[in-house]
A and B are shown apart, each in its own frame.
Chain A
């Protein structure tokens, strides 16, 4: 069974601090997506990383895909209250139908 371990599951920090969320697996993924979800809404795609070692930046968010395509991280610089939400990582299984393996999610709260 492919698993994707996401940590931390909960994080509450002050505005202006930096943070990193990790997703780790023993399995190789063809790609990995990061989503953000607000209560009562569907997940919204933030980024897709495909190449081992790839780094993508989205304003204050930096996403990295491990060289072996087994792990990924999300780093937020100078967090703001608007960053509050549930962050989910999901790895695409190698093979057909492109099913996603989901991390447990990180509930992030940024206090003003």
Chain B
């Protein structure tokens, strides 16, 4: 149980284009999903917290107009990198947790490698 999928697993795009990444909880309903960014050989950096049906909460320094997050259902959250530039190239990972009342555990997707040319 507790499987989280991400799509696509990797994407290469031209500078200035927008890229959408999907995060799905496959066998449980996730009231809260998290989006992370990870640079090589570093730990995870939280970008935003997404609650189903409400606006995402962004961490300090993360541009909400550039990284659009939508959590339209209990099993799907999307991250759209708008007008992507080479500096946005990174490994993006989502995670999801169960409904309130469960443990604090987050289950992670396999990640999406974004390369902006």
Chain A residues with CB under 8 Å of chain B are 30-31, 33, 35, 40-45, 48, 50, 88, 90, 92, 97-100, 102-105, 107
Q: A43-B108, A48-B104 are in contact. List 6 more A-B contacts (CB 8 A).
A: A33-B106, A40-B91, A42-B110, A48-B103, A98-B32, A100-B34
For chain B, the count of residues having a C-beta within 8 Å of the partner chain is 26
Indicate if the CB atoms of A99 and B46 lie closer than 8 Å. yes
Residue from A30, A41, A88, A107 with most neighbouring chain B CB atoms (10 Å): A41
Chain B residues with Cβ below 8 Å from A88 are: 43-44
Chain B residue, CB-CB nearest to A33 = B105
Chain B residue, CB-CB nearest to A107 = B41
Chain B interface, >50% SS class: strand
Contact of A98 with B97 at beta-carbon distance under 8 Å, contacts A42-B6, A48-B103, A88-B44 already known: yes
Indicate if the CB atoms of A42 and B42 lie closer than 8 Å. no
Is B58 on the interface with A (CB-CB < 8 A)?
no
Indicate if the CB atoms of B110 and A100 lie closer than 8 Å. no
In the complex, A30 Cα to B91 Cα: how many Å?
28
Indicate if the CB atoms of A97 and B104 lie closer than 8 Å. no
Contact of A35 with B108 at beta-carbon distance under 8 Å, contacts A103-B43, A105-B43 already known: yes
Chain A residues with Cβ below 8 Å from B108 are: 35, 42-45
Chain A residues with Cβ below 8 Å from B103 are: 31, 48, 50
A35 to chain B, nearest CB (A): 7
In the complex, A30 Cα to B104 Cα: how many Å?
8
Indicate if the CB atoms of A100 and B43 lie closer than 8 Å. no
Contact check: which of B42, B107, B111 meets A40 at CB < 8 Å? B111
- Report B75-108 CB contacts with A as 1/0, cut-off 8 Å: 0000000000000000101010100000111111
Is B17 on the interface with A (CB-CB < 8 A)?
no
Chain A residue, CB-CB nearest to B9 = A40
A23 to chain B, nearest CB (A): 11
In the complex, A102 Cα to B103 Cα: how many Å?
17
Residue from A33, A42, A105 with most neighbouring chain B CB atoms (10 Å): A42
